[in-house]
Amino acid sequence: MTSAAATTPLVRRRPPPHVRRKRFLVGVAQHSVLIVVAIAFLAPFVFIVLTSMMTTHQALSADLWPHPFRLRNFADVFSKAPLARWTFNTLVYSCLATIGVLVSSVPVAYALARLRWRGRDAAFMIVLIALMLPPQVSVVPLYVMWAKLHLVGTLWPLIVPNWFGDAFTIFLLRQFFLTIPEEYLDAARVDGCGELRILFTVVTRLAKPALAAVALFSFLYTFNDFFLPLLYVGENSHNWVLSLGLAQFRSQHEVQWNLTMAATVLVMAPVIILFFLAQRAFVEGITLTGVKG
Amino acid sequence: MNGAVADTAGASAPALPLRTRARRRADWRRRRLVLLLMSPWIVGFSVFFAYPLVMSAYLSFNHYDLLSPPRWVGWANYHYLFNVDPLVWEAVRNTVVWMVLIAVPCQVLFAFGVALLVARAKSGSGVFRTVFYLPALAPPVAATLGFVYILNPATGPVNVLLSHIGINGPLWFNSPQWSKPSLILLSLWGIGNTMIIFLAAVLDVPQHLYESAELDGAGPLQRLRYVTLPTVSPVILFAVVLGVIQGLQYFTQAFVAASIASGQASQAGDTFSGLGYPNHSTLFYPVLLYQHGFTDFQMGYASAMAMLLLVVSFAVTLVIVLNSRKWVHQAVPR
């Protein structure tokens, strides 16, 4: 293939006008479809943001554009609901869980990816099975367990399991560790590095992008999590997280769609800001799940 | 899983020359290292995975309300589950037909179509990629709230816009016929993750394959059918498996949409009511399991439901993965 290109340097011929015109029209058609779909994807955000700045009365009318822009809604949300409290709880849950996931999953993923031992493939299969099973399958006995420990109503049942390895994180990190060239590790071994030191210096440094992606995913997962908080702290509003508080916000402020949408904006905003700050880590992580899986 | 490793320690003969002993010591240190590294998962797996599974199986044969000790009832829970409970089949049908058989193909096709368009865009593909990905980031509770508002029948923007062009919009989340399509619409809004994976796969298709197909006289559709699809089929399989698994655990959006939309209709003040509103149309299997287990505290019966979910999700994944050989193109291992 390369030799053919080398012998006769190919010059791309300019396509005839009717072909060019057709290509141009196809391009226009594709772009217009894309633009229409993009508008449809953005519209919900636009409507939510617009409504969040309407007056209560206006949010209940057919108006689409806020007449006086009422930015006070965002301040009102804080006075109507303990949003600060929910945010604090969410951060406690998300941060402690994310740290735990990283600390506990990195060594497991390393052992599954880079060490040779009997039963390794079986162990990896078990990780995959754990990954695929719905959480609802094991939730009843776990609830009973936490109830017996008198910890239902606290954030501990949400945080503690994350300190014992998370199947999804282990899977992702293993996939990434497999791509690290053996030469780096061998070089460290020749220099007299033990496996633990290799793991904590060489591998973690090489895997920084993957670790960032995994940390992001874990943070987002816990930030968005609704099922487990509903289960364990649903009865204790003192420990509610943002997702729980937001879900019942409307039932407390019955018809105030504008405030509900303002609260929705406030909950969406951090995630979207985080995305723009860490866009590369996101894309890295998502492609890691699909392409190399 | 580590038993296999530990077994080999005692297998070799005693009274060995020095070299073998040094090697055995190294082996032992290696095993200890593996055990140390694996220990978080060993504990996590036993306490948060294996134990609950076994316990779930046990509890499913008991009557248990968390207050009095479990009472053995044999197959009664399963009998009730399969023959008596009027809501189970409604929930199974909603979950399997709507969230798996309808929603998953819709999501995959839509995500694939969008990915193809973005891949071919000559300009602005970065902007489009961001726009299509953003909704996937929106926290599910927030996204659901937004959709319930946007689709609310009386003053929601969608019905307002529809009325401008003379269409009487449906009742969306307040209508038993439209509540599930509304949820599917919500899920289509959030296909960003799948789209990004497809996009990466489509961009990964080697260019020379397209060129040689073009030389053979293949048109755009044929190139899609015979070049793009076979090359990205493993990624499609991955998306389908993931979609099915997520469809079987569909909970948050249905739960939130039902409680918000029902509150809107009845103005009821109490928190989290109206599961399955309207008219059990958003009653999905995990929602029903939640109701039995954690609002009625029928732990034994909820365990029986969990066992059925376990068997079904395991079987479905197995069937998909085993049958995938037939239609997934196997690339030469790199």
CA distance A184 to A202: 8
DSSP B138: S
Contact A288, A210 (CB under 8 A): yes
Is there a single domain that holds both residue A65 and residue A88?
A: no
Could you tell me the CA-to-CA distances from A20 to A23, A32, B116, B167 in Å, in that order?
5, 18, 21, 41
Instruction: Check whether residue A43 and residue A171 sit in a common domain.
Output: no
- Distance of alpha carbon B198 from alpha carbon B188, whole angstroms: 15
Asked, for residue A289, whether it belongs to a domain, the answer is no
How close A49 comes to chain B (CA, Å)? Answer: 10
Interface test with chain B among A24, A35, A41, by most B beta carbons within 10 Å: A41
Query: How many angstroms separate the CA atoms of B309 and B305, rounded?
Result: 6
What are the chain B neighbours of A49 within 8 Å (beta carbons)? none
pLDDT, tens digit, 9 for 90 and up, residues B269-307? 344 557 777 888 889 999 999 999 988 889 999 999 999
- Any idea of the CA torsion for B296, B302, B305, B307, to the nearest 10 degrees? 170
In whole angstroms, give the CA distance from residue B277 to residue B148: 13
Q: Give the mean model confidence (pLDDT) for residues B108-125.
A: 88
How far is residue B262's CA from residue A238's CA, in Å, rounded to a whole number? 25
- The helix/strand/coil state of B57 is helix
- CA-CA distance, B291 to B302, in Å (whole number)? 9
Q: Where a domain ends, among A74, A98, A121?
A: A74
State residue A191 phi and psi, 5-degree precision: -75, 0
Interface of B with A in 68-107 (CB under 8 A): none
Q: What is the pLDDT of residue A160?
A: 95
Closest C-alpha among B235, B181, B202 to residue B114:
B202
Residue A197 lies in a domain: yes
In Å, how far is B276's CA from the nearest CA of chain A?
16
| Residue A182 lies inside a defined structural domain of this protein | yes
Backbone angles phi, psi at A255, to 5 degrees: -105, 10
Shared domain check, A62 and A183:
no
Task: Sort A11 into a burial class: Cβ within 10 Å, 0-12 / 13-18 / 19+.
Answer: exposed
How far apart are the CA of B169 and the nearest CA of chain A, in angstroms?
A: 13
Which domain covers residue A132, as residue numbers? 82-252
- pLDDT recorded at residue B332: 40
SS3 A204: helix
DSSP conformation class of A255? T
Q: Is there a contact between A272 and B134 if contact means CB atoms under 8 Å apart?
A: yes
How many domains does the structure of chain A reveal? 2
Which of B2, B48, B55 has the highest number of chain A CBs within 10 A, making it the mutation to test binding with A? Answer: B48
Mean pLDDT of chain B: 84
Interface test with A, best of B122, B145, B150 (most A CBs within 10 A): B145
Asked if residues B320 and B240 have their Cβ atoms less than 8 Å apart, the reply is yes
Same domain, A65 and A120: no
- CB–CB of A286 and B197 under 8 A? yes
pLDDT per residue rounded down to tens, chain A (293 residues): 444 445 556 667 777 888 888 888 888 888 889 999 999 999 999 999 998 888 877 877 777 788 788 888 888 888 888 889 999 999 999 999 999 999 999 999 999 998 888 889 899 988 888 888 888 888 999 999 999 999 999 999 999 999 999 998 999 899 888 888 888 888 888 888 888 888 888 888 888 888 988 898 899 999 999 999 999 998 888 999 999 999 888 766 666 788 889 999 999 999 999 888 888 777 777 766 654 43
Residue A258 belongs to some domain of the structure: no
B317 neighbors B241 (Cβ within 8 angstroms): yes
Q: Give A18's contacts (C-beta < 8 A, 6+ positions apart).
A: none
Tens of pLDDT, residues B184-238: 999 999 998 899 889 988 988 888 888 888 888 888 888 888 888 888 888 888 8
Residues from chain A contacting residue B163 (CB–CB below 8 Å): 62
Chain B residue nearest residue A226, CA to CA = B252
CA distance B172 to B150: 10
SS3 letters across B66-128: CCCCCEECCCHHHHHHHHHCHHHHHHHHHHHHHHHHHHHHHHHHHHHHHHHHHHHCCCCHHHH
The count of other CB atoms within 10 Å of the CB of residue B325 is 8
State whether A34 and B128 contact (CB < 8 Å).
yes
Report the alpha-carbon distance of residue B205 to residue B229 in Å, rounded: 10
Judged by DSSP in three states, A77 sits in helix
B310 closest CA partner among B84, B54, B45: B54
A86 in any annotated domain:
yes
Residue B267 CB neighbours (<10 A):
10
The pLDDT, as a whole number, for residue B1 is: 40
Residue A271 lies in a domain: no
Cα radius of gyration (chain A)? 26
The verdict on residue A1 lying in a domain is no
Q: How far apart are CA A163 and CA A98, in angstroms?
A: 9
A125 in reach of chain B (CB within 8 A): no
B126 token code pair = 């970065």
B3: pLDDT confidence band, cut at 50, 70 and 90?
Answer: very low
What is d(CA B317, CA B296) in angstroms, rounded to the nearest whole number? 31
More confident residue, A55 or B81: B81
A31 touches chain B (CB under 8 A): yes
pLDDT-derived band at B265 (thresholds 50, 70, 90) equals low
Q: What is the CATH number of the domain that holds A165?
A: 1.10.3720.10
- The burial of A205, by beta-carbon neighbours within 10 Å (0-12 exposed, 13-18 middle, 19 or more buried), is given as exposed
Residues A55 and A122 in one domain: no
Q: Is residue A43 part of a domain?
A: yes
User: How many other C-beta atoms lie within 10 A of the C-beta of residue B168?
Assistant: 8
Q: How far apart are CA B218 and CA B225, in angstroms?
A: 10
- Taking the CA atoms of B148, B150, B156 and B162 in sequence, report the sign of the dihedral they define: negative
Looking at residue B222, what is its pLDDT?
86
Same domain? For A185 and A212 the reply is yes
Which chain A residue is nearest to residue B314, measuring alpha carbons?
A: A133
- Same domain for A91 and A55: no
Q: What phi and psi, each to the nearest 5 degrees, are found at residue B70?
A: -60, 140
Q: Which of B51, B98, B69, B80 minimizes the C-alpha distance to B302? A: B80
Q: Is the domain of A105 the same as that of A202?
A: yes
Sign of CA dihedral B79, B82, B85, B86: negative
CA-based angle B321:B322:B326, to the nearest 5? 100
CB contact under 8 A, B145 and A260: yes
Q: Are A239 and A97 in the same domain?
A: yes
Q: Is the ipTM of this structure higher than 0.90?
A: no
Residues in contact with B208: Cβ distance below 8 Å, sequence separation at least 6, in sequence order: A1
pLDDT band, very low/low/confident/very high, at B157 (cuts 50, 70, 90): confident
A119 and A170 within one domain? yes
Are residues A168 and A63 part of one domain? Answer: no
Do A59 and A123 belong together in one domain? no
DSSP letter at A152 equals B
Which of B263, B291, B258, B292 shows the shortest CA–CA distance to B276? B258
**Closest C-alpha to B293, from B285, B191, A68:** B285
Most A-contacting residue of B41, B47, B204, B273 (CB-CB within 10 A), to test interface: B41
pLDDT above 90 (res B97)? yes
pLDDT digits (tens, 9 = 90+) for B5-37: 444 444 445 556 777 888 888 888 888 889 999
Instruction: Say if B138 is an interface residue toward chain A (CB within 8 Å).
Output: yes
Residue pair A106/A205 in contact (Cβ under 8 Å)? The answer is: no
Where residue B276 falls (left for φ over 0; alpha for ψ -120 to 50; beta otherwise) is: left
Q: Give the tokens for residue A136.
A: 């609802």
